[in-house]
Amino acid sequence: MVSEEAYLFPCETGSSRPVPKVNNAHDRAVRDSKVAPFRLYDLRHIWATRASMSGIDLVTLAAMLGHSRIQMVLRYAHPTQQHQHQAMERLEQFVSEQRIAHAERTSPQATHAIQ
């Protein structure tokens, strides 16, 4: 048996089950608070984007979103230009480190030239 406290949003007609639909409550809360209108589902996209940008891999993110295919994650996660730029900088740093390591392995004189 599930306790009444088990649901963050219990159903008004029976607290032993979750509220089946929150769209009306969301629309009313947005209207009453006078914030810029947004769709409730937008929060899922924002969460997926932030989760992806924080470093959660796509396989794990797919599982967390309840998707059976990674392709569905791509519909939700939208990396920003800044995040893409930072990713490119990390790649450039990695490539530079690899080149230095290769030069150090292949030629002791190259190490002195790089420094």
Q: What is the pLDDT of residues 88-109, one digit of tens each?
A: 999 999 999 999 999 998 886 6
47, 30: one domain? no
DSSP 3-state of 4: helix
Which pair of structure tokens corresponds to residue 85?
């730029």
Distance CA 63, CA 66 (A): 5
Same domain flag for 85 and 56:
no
The dihedrals phi and psi of 15, each to the nearest 5 degrees, come to -70, 0
- Count of domains in the chain? 3
Question: Which tens digits make up the pLDDT trace of 14-54?
Answer: 888 888 888 888 898 899 999 999 998 899 899 999 999 89
Predicted confidence (pLDDT) at residue 10 exceeds the cutoff of 70: yes
Query: How sure is the predictor about 115, in pLDDT bands with cuts at 50, 70 and 90?
Result: low
pTM (two decimals): 0.59
Examine the domain organization and report whether 92 and 110 are in the same domain.
yes
β partners of residue 47:
none
Residues 61 and 45 in one domain: yes
Which backbone phi and psi does 79 adopt, to 5 degrees?
A: -65, 140
